A and B are shown apart, each in its own frame.
Chain A
Amino acid sequence: MSYKILEKKEIAMRNIWYRIHAPHVAKKVQPGQFVIVRAFKNGERIPLTPVMWDRDEGWIVLITFIRGRTTMRMASELKEGDELLNVAGPLGNPAEMEKFGKVLAIGAYTGIVEVYPIARAWQELGNDVTTLHVTFEPMVVLKDELEEAVGRHVLETVPIDPNLDFPTNMKNVTKRLTEKVRELLEKEEYDMVFMVGPAGDQRAVFNVVKEFGIPMKSDLHPIMVDGTGMCGACRVTVGGEVKFACIDGPEFDAYQVNWDELIARSGYYTDMEQRAMQEYMKALQGGEQ
């Protein structure tokens, strides 16, 4: 199998667009599903979401947010014409396709790229879809595409304050996110809320949504390894039961999710990820000398 990179471009700060030859995925993928990518021989298996695809031409589009070493290496070491080692999928269950009515679909940061195919399909199905994207100013993606695909696209950006550290900057995004959700829910009546984004932001939004008693679906992204239900790394407690996000999800009822547990599990490797990243940056600098 050859997973050639047909196109690669930086579409916003730290957001890289890859159009990849992967006919087996393109043929089958449905909104809500994901793939597992392994880019390098010593790389990780990382879950990514096909944002767009062409079944006839056999390609899919993946957008990565440079976050850890693998996404950083993909951005700096791969160019158009290169190949990814593996693209496995599609995995996970497709998003439910129903007429929900008026839907608010929220994406925090690059979460919006996963919202896009689902929101678009919901709109096509006759739902009235509002998408909300909250991110840092230089990280806006898919604005035009969303404006075209759904009833209304609301974009909220937060400037990056260079005097603040990154976690504090992120808190500002969370704050804006919850404020905006509250504002929208107060103004209009929604039948359903859907969200993709970091677990902490999802919980923050859920806490707002539940005040309004509106049903909420969450697309969960716990740490994953194989993605086929074999390893159990991605387990989450939903409604008191242990579920595997890869084969039972990735979509779950936000009211049933044990958020504290999910957030704790998501951060388990942060220290090692940082170490890997630092070593990589050191090696990069060393190589440039």
Chain B
Amino acid sequence: MAVKRKIIKERVPTPEMPAEERIKSFAEVNLGYTFELAVKEAERCLQCPYNYAPCIKGCPVHIDIPGFISKLVQYRDDPDKAVKEALNVIWACNSLPATTGRVCPQEDQCEMNCVMGRVGDKINIGKLERFVADYAREKGIDEELLFEIIPKIEKKGQSVAIIGAGPAGLTAAGELAKLGYDVTIYEALHEAGGVLMYGIPEFRLPKSIVESEIDKLRKLGVKILTDHIVGKTVTIEELLQEYDAVFIGSGAGTPRLINAPGINLNGIYTANEFLTRVNLMKAYLFPEYDTPVKVGKKVVVIGAGNTAMDAARSARRFGAEVTIAYRRGPEDVSARVEEVHHAKEEGIKFEFYINPVEFIGDENGKIKAVKFEKMKALDERDSRGKRKIVGTGEYVTLEADTVIIAIGKHPNRLIVNTPGLKVERGKIVVDENLMTSIPGVFAGGDAIRGEATVILAMGDGRMAAKAIHEYLTKKREEKENA
């Protein structure tokens, strides 16, 4: 497209529900673009050539971002065609765009190096991706495209078992199904989606959207066995007898706790438990839904990652006064900028440089306050580049009738106990092809990383699918030649 365009410095904003309204419900906060707004934003893209485009380099799954954006502009007179073409480009790399468009940290990835950033606002890539996925879903365009793709798939006659239906597993499954492998996912919970279902709240990622993305994988032929706990219901050794390869995408399953007195008092939740009750089990609809959750008037969330923001904002929707307590300073907050911004808009308070040392209960074993030590930062930096912190010997106590611990997770122990599987500090060890110490068994996502983002897990899923494809192609050829 050699059309000369005027540079528009300002980003076209996406409409959002006002803060005072959204803290009363779990409805989605960001309302997304209309086609007209999406085209307006798409027009701002400078269309860097594919080999150069820094956005593609910043994307862990390397979506052809200028490619999909250009389709919106090119077919602006035919919205359905524009979206279909754009979706086709995205799907080449990413089977879950409605999800990634919502939960990826775009500011640290694709948008980080956007050339537009040198003169104005960076392109709103995430929201454009989300728009394409949402519009396609609402109009049934994704189904149409899917049914064009399916007949072209050449069956390989080989099968792959995938452990965990979270972002890594779903991505690997989608890629492998498209390549013609028979794919079966083993999922421990009653719903597929992993952290997308139990962890990320409805107001950030509506569950119906995750379900629709998973439904498309089913249409691609992916089988999903829920209620199957690998390590208990079936072992990896047994899977290897039945399948030609295995991918472990079991995630970071076990919450990290704080080694301080009173950690098991009533009213202290791990973020996993709190979010599972609220998201997966819909405790915010109790008693219509059977699973209860107790959110007090004063909630303290410990930690400052995305999970902490999700927990804090969920608690806020129960009418609580919420404080996020973090032992480091604002510059070390690992949550996305957009989430921190939303949290602040919703009235969540932040307390920095305080580290919990004791949970204080009442006579019934119920939390009533948290004692923190005040911390201070040194100039010296640790291995992650964060400033080292030390205790000051001064203490502060915050009242709390609910505490949510959101300081991270360890990989799930049921999987890492597999004999022959090399594990270091709870994380599965893999080679450059994501193959584990067991031949034919690959792993990715939080199971190898400890804790990362949805898109990094998806990047692993995609890379593993490629590696599994190569591994199985070789296996197939060896068999044919034998």
Minimum C-beta distance from B354 to chain A (A): 22
- The CA-CA distance from A265 to B269 in the complex, in Å, is 12
> Which of the residues A38, A86, A230, A233 comes within 8 Å of B412, measured between beta carbons?
A230
* Residue interface mask A208-225, B partner, CB < 8 A = 1: 000000000000000001
- CB pair B264–A42 under 8 Å, yes or no, is no
Q: Which of B270, B286, B412 contacts A276 (CB 8 A)?
A: B286
Max chain B CB contacts within 10 Å: which of A233, A265, A280?
A: A233
Interface code B397-417, partner A: CB below 8 Å = 1, 0 otherwise? 000000000000000111000
Bound-complex Cα distance A264 to B189 (A)? 27
**Cβ contacts under 8 Å, B267 to chain A:** 268
Q: Is there an interface contact between A38 and B229, defined as CB atoms closer than 8 Å?
A: no
Cα distance A225–B254 when bound, in Å? 13
Q: Which residues does chain B contribute within 8 Å of A13, judged by CB atoms? A: none
A230–B254 touching, CB < 8 Å: yes
Q: Complex formed: what's the CA distance from A230 to B23 in Å? A: 27
Contact with A along B221-243 (1 / 0, CB 8 A): 00001111100111000000000
Q: Are B281 and A247 in contact, CB atoms less than 8 angstroms apart? A: no
Residues of B within 8 A of A268 (CB): 266-267, 294, 366
A85's contact among B190, B291, B412, by CB below 8 Å, is which?
Answer: B190
Known A-B contacts A228-B253, A242-B263; A91 and B229 likewise in contact (beta carbons under 8 Å):
yes
User: B28 within 8 Å of A by Cβ?
Assistant: no
**B264 A242 Cβ-Cβ under 8 A:** yes
Contact of B291 among A44, A91, A229, A247 (CB under 8 A): A44
**Complex Cα spacing A87 to B227, Å:** 6
> Is the pair B264, A261 in contact by a Cβ cutoff of 8 Å?
yes
Please give, as numbers and ranges, the residues of chain B lying within 8 Å of A87 by CB-CB distance.
227
Q: Mark B122-147, 1 if CB is under 8 A from A, else 0.
A: 00000000000000000000000000
Name the CB-closest residue of B to A237.
B264
A265 to B90, CA, bound (A): 48
Total contacts A-B at CB 8 Å: 134
| Cβ-based interface call for B307 (8 A) | no
Whether B414 and A229, one on each chain, are in contact in the complex, defined by CB atoms closer than 8 angstroms, is yes
Q: Name the A residues within 8 Å of B291 (CB-CB).
A: 44-45, 225
Q: Are B364 and A89 in contact (CB under 8 A)?
A: no
A70 CB within 8 Å of chain B: yes
Known interface pairs A85-B190, A242-B263, A265-B264; A229-B232 also in contact (CB < 8 Å)? no
Residues of B within 8 A of A280 (CB): 287
Contact residue among A24, A231, A276 (Cβ-Cβ distance under 8 Å from B227)? A24
Q: Which residues of B from 325 to 344 have beta carbons under 8 Å from A? A: none
The answer on a CB contact under 8 Å between A242 and B233 is no
* Residues A231 and B270 in contact in the complex (CB < 8 Å), given A89-B227, A247-B413: yes
- Secondary structure at the B interface, as helix, strand, loop or mixed, is loop
Q: Which of A85, A228, A229, A276 contacts B290 (CB 8 A)?
A: A276
| A287, chain B: closest CB distance, angstroms | 16
Would you call B52 an interface residue if the criterion is a C-beta within 8 Å of the partner chain's C-beta atoms? no
- Give the complex CA separation of A45 and B226 in angstroms: 14
Interface residues of A in 15-63 (CB under 8 A from B): 24-25, 28, 33, 36, 38, 40, 42-45
- A272 lies within 8 A of B263 (CB): no
Interface 9-mer from B72-80, B97-105, B271-279: B271-279
Cβ-defined contact, B281 with A264, below 8 A: no
B288 interface residue per 8 A CB criterion: yes
Interchain CB contact under 8 A, B188 and A235: no
B255 and chain A: residue at smallest CB distance: A232
> A87-B227, A269-B294 in contact; A261/B365 too (CB < 8 A)?
yes
Min CB gap B272→A, angstroms: 5
B439 part of interface (Cβ distance < 8 Å): no
Contact at A275–B234, with CB atoms within 8 Å? no
Inside 8 A of B233's CB, which chain A residues have their CB? 24-25, 28, 88-90
Question: CB-CB < 8 A to A225: which residues of B?
Answer: 273, 276-277, 281, 291
B149 within 8 A of A: no
Check A88–B287 contact: CB distance below 8 A. no
Residue from A88, A233, A261 in contact with B188 in the complex, judged by beta carbons closer than 8 Å: A88
A156 in the interface (beta carbon within 8 A): no
CB-CB < 8 A to B287: which residues of A?
Answer: 69, 272, 275-276, 279-280
In the complex, A83 has a CB within 8 A of chain B: no
Minimum Cβ distance to chain A for residue B61 (Å)? 26
Cα A230 to Cα B276 with chains together (Å): 9
Asked if A1 is at the interface of the complex by the 8 Å CB criterion, the answer is yes
Give the distance to chain B from A37, nearest Cβ to Cβ, in Å.
10
Inter-chain CA distance A274–B272, complex, in Å, is 25
Contact status of A229 and B412, CB under 8 A, knowing A24-B233, A28-B233, A89-B227: yes
Tell me if A232 and B257 are in contact (CB < 8 A): yes
Render B205-230 as a binary contact track against A, CB cut-off 8 A, 1 for contact: 00000000000000000000111110
Task: Decide yes or no: A89 and B276 within 8 Å by CB, A42-B290, A272-B292, A275-B287 being known contacts.
Answer: no
The answer to whether the Cβ of A177 comes within 8 Å of any Cβ in the partner chain is: no
Tell me whether B282 is interfacial, beta carbon within 8 Å.
Answer: yes
Contact with B along A242-259 (1 / 0, CB 8 A): 101001000000000010
Contact in complex: A264, B190 (CB < 8 Å): no
A230 B190 Cβ-Cβ under 8 A: no
A226 touches B288 (CB 8 A): no
With A235-B264, A247-B414, A260-B365: A228-B227 Cβ-Cβ less than 8 Å: no
Minimum CB–CB distance for A260 against chain B, Å: 7
Mark contacts of B18-30 with chain A using CB atoms, 8 A cut-off: 1 yes-contact digit, 0 otherwise: 0000000000000
Given A242-B263, A265-B264, verify A42-B282 contact (CB < 8 Å): yes
25 CB-based A-B contacts, threshold 8 Å: A1-B226, A24-B227, A24-B234, A36-B227, A38-B190, A44-B291, A85-B190, A87-B227, A88-B190, A88-B226, A89-B227, A89-B229, A225-B273, A230-B276, A231-B273, A232-B254, A233-B269, A242-B257, A244-B254, A247-B414, A261-B264, A261-B365, A268-B267, A275-B287, A276-B287
Known: A1-B227, A268-B294. 9 other contacts (CB 8 A): A1-B225, A24-B227, A43-B290, A228-B188, A230-B253, A236-B264, A244-B254, A247-B413, A273-B292
Contact surface of A with B, Cβ cutoff 8 Å: 1, 24-25, 28, 33, 36, 38, 40, 42-45, 69-70, 85-91, 225-226, 228-233, 235-237, 242, 244, 247, 258, 260-261, 264-265, 268-269, 272-273, 275-276, 279-280
